[in-house]
Structure 1
Amino acid sequence: MTSVSPAPNGAGFNRAGTVTVNLVAVDNTGGSGVASITYHVDSLTPVTVNAATAAVTVSGGDGTHTVFYSATDVAGNPSDSHTQTVKIDTTYPVVGASISPTPNSLGYNRTSSVTVNLSATDVRGSGVASISYKVDNGTPSTVNAATAAVNVSGADGTHTVSYSATDVAGNVTSQSQTINIDTMAPTVSSVTMANGGPQNSKEADAGDTLTIVFPPDMDPRTLCSGWDSSSASAQSARGTASIGLDHKLTFASPATCSAWSFGSVDLVSAYATGQTPLSFDLSTMTWTSGTLVITLQGNRSGTAGSTSNKVNPVYTPVSGAADKAGNPLSGSFTGGMTSRF
C-alpha cells in the first residue's frame, strides 16, 4: 500500500519540490511476515530496506516521476512489482498582457474603450488551467483557458486590470496592468499678468510675470522641446522674452526650446512703442505641474510703452501643443481677469 505526502491535488499534482511516498507491506494471515521492501525512483539504483515500511523521497525536479516497489516475505515469496506515479510542478505560469489599441509612448490611450489581451503559458509545468481578472473594483471573472480579452471602458482617468493565471497544479501568478484613458482636449484655466518690477504697473519691466495655468496632464515637451514629458520636477529655460509691435509677448530659448516655444500672448495694449520691439534677454520660462511662468529679466532693449488700460490677455498656443495623451490644445484663451504690467 502507498500514500503520498503532501497529498496531490485533484489533478494528481504536487506543488512541493520534495514528495514522500510511504510504502507499507503486509503478509497474509499465518504467513511468515514481511522481510523487506525494495524500491527505486525512475532509473535510480534500487534500495532495499529490511522492514515492512519505507519512506521514499522523490525530489527529481518538476515533471512526472515513477516509484517502483515490491516486498518479500521471510519465506522468500516476492510480491508483484507495483508503481506509484508522482507529478511535481513548482513552476509558476507566465502571464503576458498587450493593450489594443497600443498606448502612446507616455502610456496614454485616446479612446474610451481599450482591450487588454491576456495570455498565459506554463511550458515546463502542468499547463494553464484558468485566467481570472477584474477591472478596478469590479466583479472578478474567470475563464478556463490560457487567453482572455478584457475590455476596459469608462470615464477618463486611470484604470487597473488585476489578473492572475493558475496552472493545473494550483500555482498562481498575479499581476496588474494600468490603463490611462484621456479623450478630453486640454484647456487653459487662467492667463494673468502681474507687476513684479520696480517700475509702475503701466509698463513692462524686469520682474514682471506672465502666468498660464494648464491642466496637470499637459505635456510640457510640446511647449518646449528640451523639457521632459515624464518629469514631475520643475523645469526651466532661459532666453529672451519679447513684446512685438503687434503687442504679442513671445519667448525664445534656442539652447533649451530649440524646436518651439509656448506660443504667444496678446497683451492687447501698447507695451512696446515706436519701431523697435521690447525685449528682455535674461528672462526665464518655468514649468511646474501644469503652471507656466515667464519672468521678464535682464537688459531691456527697445522702447517700453505705457498704458492705463486694464486688459484681458489672450493666449494662443504653439501648433502641436497637446496633453500627454496627444489631445491637441487649440484655439485661443482669454484671461478671466484684467491685469497689467
Structure 2
Amino acid sequence: MTETKTFKAFVTTGDGEGQIVERAFDDLPTGEVTIKVHYSGVNFKDALALNAKTKVAKNYPIVPGIDLAGEVTSSEDSAFKPGDHVIVTSYELGVGHDGGYSEFARVPAKWVVPLPDGLSTREAMIIGTAGFTAALSVHRLEESGLTTKDKPVLVTGATGGVGSMAVSMLSKRGYSITASTGKKSEHPYLKALGAEEIINREDVTPEKIKPLQEQRWAAAVDPTGGRPLASILSSTKQGGAVAVSGLTAGADLPVTVMPFILRGVDLLGIDSGFCPMELRLNVWERAATDLKPDHLEEIATEINMDQLPKALKDISQSNVRGRILVKMG
C-alpha cells in the first residue's frame, strides 16, 4: 500500500475540544509498525483525554483514540509485514502516544495484535476496547468457576459499550442474564441482545446497603464501581464472583469484608489496559469465536471523523447506546 504525503488526524490541545488537522508522516510518533487506520471507536476515556484537567492524557497536543484496527503499511519488526490486518488497543494509545483518530498511526510492535480469523477490521472495532473488556470479564468469571448452570448473571450499565457487549457475549454462551439500566426506553434493545430480565439500576442499589443482603447474583459484570458494586458484592451468592472494570458510579467502595469471608465471593479486577500479551491474544481469539457477539450491527453506530466532537460530548454525558464506530478516510 502506498502512503500518501499527508493525512488527516483529530488532535486536541487539552482545551476540551479537538480539531481535524493535516499532518505529515514525520509527525508520527516513534514505533516499529505504521498502520493505515480503517476504524477506531469512541470510548469514555477518549472524551476525558480532551481536557487536560482530567489528567488522563500525559502530554499535548495528542491524537485521542484508545483503539484502532487497520492494515500495516510498513514494519521494522519481522513479526509484521505490509498488508497484515491488525488491532491495537490499550497501553499508552491515545493517552501518552498518538492514538486511533488518525488516517495513519505508528506504534510499538509489542502493542500490536494480529487480526484473528473470523473478524474484519470493522468488526474488531465494533468490539473495540469496550468489547475486549467485556470478553476479558467473561473469561475471568469462567476461570473463577462460572458455568451456565449458575443463574443469574448481572450486567450493570447494560446499554453502554462494555455492558452491551457483555450481554451479547454472555447470551451467546448460554447464560441467564439480568441487565440493569436507568433507560426504560432501551429495554427492547437489551431484550434483543439476549437479556432475560431487565431491572432498574435503583433495584441494584438500595438506599442503605447492608453488609450481607439477599443472595441474588451468581456473578456480575460491573463497569460502574462505587455504591452499585458494594451492593452487588453483598448480594452475590455463595462462591460467586464479580468482575469490575470501571468507576462511572465512583471510585469509593463502601463494602465490608463480610461477602468475602462469609460467602467466599471473589472480586475480579479487569485490567484491559496492561493485561499480558498472551492473555490478550487468547481473549481476542475468543472475541472472534465463542464470544463473538451475534448482534454487532445492532450494537454499532458508525460515524466519520467530522462527527467526533458530538460523539465525544455524547459519551461524556452518557448519551450513547452500545458502541460508536469511527471510520477513518
Q: TM above 0.5, one fold?
A: no
Larger RCO (CA within 8 A; separation ≥ 6): 2
Answer 1 or 2: which has greater strand percent. Answer: 1
Answer 1 or 2: which has greater helix percent. Answer: 2
TM-score, L = length of structure 1: 0.21
TM-score, L = length of structure 2: 0.22
